[in-house]
Amino acid sequence: MATGQKLMRAIRVFEFGGGPEVLKLQSNVAIPIPKDHQVLIKVQACGVNPVDTYIRSGTYSRKPLLPYTPGLDVAGIIEAVGESVSAFKKGDRVFTTSTISGGYAEYALAADHTVHTLPEKLDFKQGAAIGIPYFTAFRALLHSARVKAGETVLVHGASGGVGIAACQIARAYGLKVLGTAGTEEGQKIVLQNGAHEVFNHKEANYIDKIKKSIGEKGVDVIIEMLANVNLSNDLNLLSHGGRVIVVGSRGPIEINPRDTMAKESSIIGVALHSSTKEEFQQFAAALQAGMEIGWLRPVIGPQYPLEKVAQAHEDIIHSSGATGKMILLLK
């Protein structure tokens, strides 16, 4: 290690597989130095996303080199910039859609094209709730589903980070928005954030209630957070030409492909990291406008200090009923 290189606290993962116990808090990690088009961010808050747990378990399509620090979407203040960076300077308030060195740390290195200005009206906790949830929801709705104003969308699992983002975006773009949640508090949050109607997906007959609400036509688009449980029901709720966008799935499910035939419906997967730089810029422009106008307002859920990160990973997968975006606080 270079003499005099400054150190920070960060979570490190040395092996894939296992449970949240593989997340190790270390206080002697070197603070990275930005070069070329990189910036160094003093992290104030970092989003915790289900994808972080999939990467940690080693079952995800992308595997970082070990050891690594998890965390993609941070919010904080620019500490230093590489020599080729012109868009940002020390002291700027920013949020990210990705990091190079990992976000579960006191400082994070990021490529400048993954960094965005955080408006004064949003705090750092809210800033850490934008990167993955809003960009994923925007890609799912506008890019994958190609929604049009006047269509009906069902956000299946609407009270978590991506779900709330999807409700806010869909409402802003002129859709009729239905959402589901598993708790009373979750249902309330969904209604406060753009949904016209909300259903409790823990009720045995909630699918019948949705059918009754949407009538013969069905829903045009379903944003699906738990496809391994809901996909078969989703296919029966769709309209002619309807599409299910799979944002999350935690295992296999049996479906009858015939359910797609008469309606000529589609099942489309979405992965934010498949977006091109140009697509990210397009999503960022739309979402920046949402922040300025005021329809993009992240709802913060459970908050954890860095020391409790293993608990956060446990809770994001196993706790029942999300209520807002889970974040780690680094202040």
Tell me the fold of 7-129+299-329.
Quinone Oxidoreductase; Chain A, domain 1 (3.90.180)
pTM of the model: 0.95
- The class of domain 133-273 in CATH terms is alpha beta
What is d(CA 188, CA 155) in angstroms, rounded to the nearest whole number? 14
Tell me which long-range contacts 87-91 makes (C-beta under 8 A, separation of at least 24).
87/112, 87/115, 88/39, 88/112, 88/115
Backbone CA torsion sign across 149, 153, 159, 165? negative
Report the percentage of the chain scoring pLDDT > 70.
Answer: 99
E-state strands within the chain = 7-13, 23-30, 38-47, 74-81, 93-96, 107-111, 115-117, 152-156, 176-181, 197-200, 219-224, 238-246, 266-269, 300-305, 325-329
Mean pLDDT for the stretch of residues 253-277: 96
Question: How high is the pLDDT of residue 298?
Answer: 97
Q: Is it the case that residue 261 has pLDDT exceeding 80?
A: yes
The pLDDT tens digits of the residues spanning 208-221 come to 999 999 999 999 99
What is d(CA 29, CA 21) in angstroms, rounded to the nearest whole number? 19
Instruction: Confirm whether 7-129+299-329 and 133-273 share one CATH topology.
Output: no
Question: How high is the pLDDT of residue 226?
Answer: 94
Ordered by start, the domain boundaries in the chain are 7-129+299-329, 133-273
